[in-house]
Each structure stands twice: as C-alpha cells, then as structure tokens.
Amino acid sequence: MERQALIDTLNADLRDEHASVIRYLIHAYQVGEDTPLGALLLSMAREEMWHMDWLADAIGEMGAEPDMAPGVYPHDPTSNGSLLRSYIEWEDGLVKAYAGQAERVSDPEIKRILMQQSRESAIHSQRFARALAKLGSEAEEPLIHEDSGDFSPEMARRLQDEMTDEYRLVLQHLRHAFVLEGDHPELSELELVAMRHMKHLSHFAEELAESGHEPQFELPDLDMSRSAESALQSDLQLTEEARERFANLSQEPEIAEHPGLKLEVENMIIQEEFLAATVQELQKESAVDAESPAEPQIESQSEIPGPTGDLTIGSLMNE
C-alpha cells in the first residue's frame, strides 16, 4: 500500500474508532455506569480508546496529521437490544476491514496493530452478543429518555457547554501528543493529562444523561500547531480558562442543589490547577530552538483532506 493510501486508511479507521468510543460512552451514561451493561460499555469504550491511540501514534510517526474528527456509527436507538445488534454488526465489520487492511500493509508494526484490532473487535462482538442474550426479553423494551427537570434549561446548556470544552481539551492534548512527541518525547505526558479531562467530561455527561438529556459530542475547534511552544501555550490557556469557569460554576445556586455535582466541580478546580502546572512544566522541558525553521501550520481541522483508501469500516458497513 502506498504511503498516502496507508495514511488515508489509518485516518478512516481512527475516525471509526473515535465514533465507537463516543457511542459506547453515551449508551453507558444513559443506562448507568453501575449497571452490568453500563460497565461493559465503559470497558469497550476504553479498549476503543487504545485502538485510537495505536492508530494515531502510527500516523504521527509517519509525519502525517491524525484526523481527530469522529466518524459516523450507524445504530438503532429503539432499545438496548437494537443497539447491541447494531454494535455486533459494526464490530463484525471492523474484524473484516482490519484483516483486509493488514494483508495489504508491508510495515510489520502497522500490520501487527491492524491484526490485533481485528482480533479484539471479534472479542467485542462476542461480548455484545453475550450481553444481548443475558438481557433476554428485557432487551427489547423501548428506551425512552425524557427531561427529568432536575436542571433548568439554562443549566443543562451550561453542562453541555462544559462537556464540550473538556472534549476540546481531550482531543487537543491527544493531537499534540500524537503529532509532536516524536521530536519532544516528554509531550507523551499530554495523553495522561487528556485522561484527566476525560474524567471531567464524564461527570458532566453523566449528569446530562441521568436527567434525560443525550450528551452531544461535536468536534470543537482544535489548535493545529506543529510547534511545541505554540501547542503548549494553547493547552495552558484552555486549562486556565476551564479552572476559572469551574470556579464560577461552583458558586451557582442551582449547583448547590446537586451536592454530588458540586463536590466534583470543586475537585475539578483543584485538578485544573495541577494540570496547568503540568503543562507549564512541559513548556520548560520542550523549549523550542528559536533558530529552527518554522513548520507550516494547519489552520483548522476542516482543512484536513478526507480519506481515499479503498477499504474502510464505513465502506464495508454500507455494502
């Protein structure tokens, strides 16, 4: 497979794994993370995050730009049963797609990654099939999500906005790690920072789902710097802004009516201080040589070209 075709194919796979993470997280938040199905979905989401990491690292090591936009995950939200059947079909498509791609790849490390993801997708399909069997007739009960009124419309929007901002930090930290850690190995720590922001996102998403709202994951604007100095400055600014927002949110009278959420927001304030300090330390460690020629920057995610590969998960699902 030619280099550009390989990059395009891996980016298509990356988008599909991203879509899997989002789909399983939303479903887990809606059914409850403390339920057997919710716990399974969270486990699947974490494994799909590993798949994203493997793919994006491979793309970054090739000197290319990983596409951080999520793909489209076809699913039927009528019931838990219809959703699980959607998941089984999707994972079966992943098995075939990854195996087919591996046959056409000569790079042994990328071939190994694709074959590993094919095998793990087969396991995912089997786990979802077992979950469907365990639910029995209960799986076909319609899923109804209605606004519980626990939050005012204004606060529900505020929680969604906070979730979106944390999603932005997650993706931006990951993108910077994937693209820049080759020249700045210390920036791999941004992946751990992203995990902290993912936990913050989860608190807001859980509250939204439990109150009858479906959390929305929409691709935010990301800093597309290819300079560690610029990237980390953007990361620091967003982190400091998040801390200020959380400090203001913690003082909202309506938040006081939800002591569990208030406790988590107050904890987020402390964690954002720690994360800001972490980014500042990374800035010191990865000071850029002022005499190095500046690399071209991509202004926005929308300018990244789409895939041209001939075999992707999406194409198989449409057959």
Q: Which domain holds residue 180?
A: 150-213+225-297
The answer to whether residues 154 and 276 belong to one domain is: yes
Does residue 29 have a pLDDT over 80? yes
The answer to whether residues 157 and 139 belong to one domain is: no
Does residue 61 have a pLDDT over 60? yes
- Cβ-count burial 201-229 (b if 16+ within 10 Å, e if not): bbbbbbbbbebbbebebebbebbbbbbbe
Domain boundary among 126, 145, 164: 145
Determine, yes or no, domain membership for 307: no
The answer to whether residues 284 and 184 belong to one domain is: yes
In this prediction, residue 296 carries a pLDDT of: 52
Mean pLDDT of the chain: 91
Determine, yes or no, domain membership for 311: no
Is residue 243 within 8 A of residue 166, CB to CB? The reply is no
The pLDDT tens digits for 90-119 are 999 999 999 999 999 999 999 999 999 999
Domain boundary among 124, 145, 166: 145
Q: Pick 248 or 315 by higher pLDDT.
A: 248
In this prediction, residue 48 carries a pLDDT of: 97
Determine, yes or no, domain membership for 72: yes
The pLDDT tens digits for 70-94 are 999 999 999 999 999 999 999 999 9
Q: Phi/psi at 33 (nearest 5 deg)?
A: -65, -20
The answer to whether residues 182 and 62 belong to one domain is: no
Is residue 272 within 8 A of residue 246, CB to CB? The reply is yes
The answer to whether residues 74 and 95 belong to one domain is: yes
Q: Rounded mean pLDDT of 245-260?
A: 97
Determine, yes or no, domain membership for 306: no
Does residue 306 have a pLDDT over 60? no
Residue 183 CB neighbours (<10 A)? 13
Q: Specify the CATH number for the domain of residue 17.
A: 1.20.1260.10
What percentage of the chain carries pLDDT values higher than 90? 87
Does residue 56 have a pLDDT over 70? yes
In this prediction, residue 218 carries a pLDDT of: 87
In this prediction, residue 292 carries a pLDDT of: 53
What percentage of the chain carries pLDDT values higher than 70? 90
Q: How many domains does the chain have?
A: 2
In this prediction, residue 149 carries a pLDDT of: 94
In this prediction, residue 212 carries a pLDDT of: 95
- Model confidence at 314, pLDDT cuts 50, 70, 90, reads very low
Does residue 289 have a pLDDT over 70? no
Determine, yes or no, domain membership for 165: yes
The answer to whether residues 120 and 54 belong to one domain is: yes
The pLDDT tens digits for 255-285 are 999 999 999 999 999 999 999 999 999 999 9
Which tokens is 173 given?
């930290």
The answer to whether residues 161 and 101 belong to one domain is: no
Whether the predicted model's global pTM rises above the 0.95 cut:
no
Does residue 44 have a pLDDT over 60? yes
Q: Rounded mean pLDDT of 32-60?
A: 96
Does residue 288 have a pLDDT over 80? no
The answer to whether residues 17 and 133 belong to one domain is: yes
H, E, C per residue of the chain: CCHHHHHHHHHHHHHHHHHHHHHHHHHHHHHCCCCHHHHHHHHHHHHHHHHHHHHHHHHHHCCCCCCCCCCCCCCCCCEHHHHHHHHHHHHHHHHHHHHHHHHHCCCHHHHHHHHHHHHHHHHHHHHHHHHHHHHHHHHHCECCCCCCCCCCHHHHHHHHHHHHHHHHHHHHHHHHHHHHCCCCHHHHHHHHHHHHHHHHHHHHHHHHHHCCCCCCCCCCCCCCCCCHHHHHHHHHHHHHHHHHHHHHHHCCHHHHCCHHHHHHHHHHHHHHHHHHHHHHHHHHHCCCCCCCCCCCCCCCHHHCCCCCCCCCHHHHHCC
Which tokens is 49 given?
């995050």
Q: Phi/psi at 34 (nearest 5 deg)?
A: -90, 5
Determine, yes or no, domain membership for 192: yes
The answer to whether residues 56 and 162 belong to one domain is: no
The answer to whether residues 92 and 194 belong to one domain is: no
Domain boundary among 145, 165, 185: 145
- Amino acid code (one letter) for 285: E
In this prediction, residue 172 carries a pLDDT of: 97
Determine, yes or no, domain membership for 318: no
Determine, yes or no, domain membership for 235: yes
The answer to whether residues 137 and 171 belong to one domain is: no
The answer to whether residues 194 and 239 belong to one domain is: yes
In this prediction, residue 310 carries a pLDDT of: 43
